[in-house]
Amino acid sequence: MINGGLNPVHKMHLRIFDIAKEALESDGKTIVVGGFMSPSHDAYVSSKLGKEHIPGQHRVAMCKLLIADSPWIDVSEWETTQTGFVDFPGVLLYHKDYIKEKFPDHDIEVIYVCGADHALRCGLFMNGIRGNMVLCIGRKGSTVQLKRAAHKNM
């Protein structure tokens, strides 16, 4: 799953899912069955962008248009409908509980996918989120930072 402002959502947000799926399935054992795109609450987005933020219901609609042809990615409106901002660990835990409730007989792991900049800033690169897996997708030029973080945390 990914979350964030998605203000506006763009094709690279969709590409992140493909990159993550390829990386996870490269071990020959993992099967990625789905993905969630979760636009953040208006309180978070407006605190970053002020008047330039796109309201949550419109960001959700844009995300749905972007993933319309994807058979395995869906948009979660949950985060945008909360009474206030929910930080990414809470968003991950909500979706993990949601999946567990919907598929109680299956061992499905929900993985938080984020950019390297976010992972480094929030200390997620080696620590994860409350024991949950995090997959960070590096942008061009972030490899050196990721290697330093990995070496530092070993």
The per-residue pLDDT for 116 is 78
What is residue 120's three-state secondary structure? helix
The pLDDT-based confidence of 154 (bands split at 50, 70, 90) is: very low
The pLDDT-based confidence of 31 (bands split at 50, 70, 90) is: very high
User: Which DSSP symbol is given to 80?
Assistant: G
Q: Rounded to two decimals, what is the model's pTM? A: 0.86
Paired tokens of 116: 């390297």
The per-residue pLDDT for 133 is 86
**CA–CA separation, 14 and 17 (whole Å):** 6
In the chain, the percentage of residues whose pLDDT exceeds 70 is 87
The pLDDT-based confidence of 125 (bands split at 50, 70, 90) is: low
**CA–CA separation, 133 and 111 (whole Å):** 5
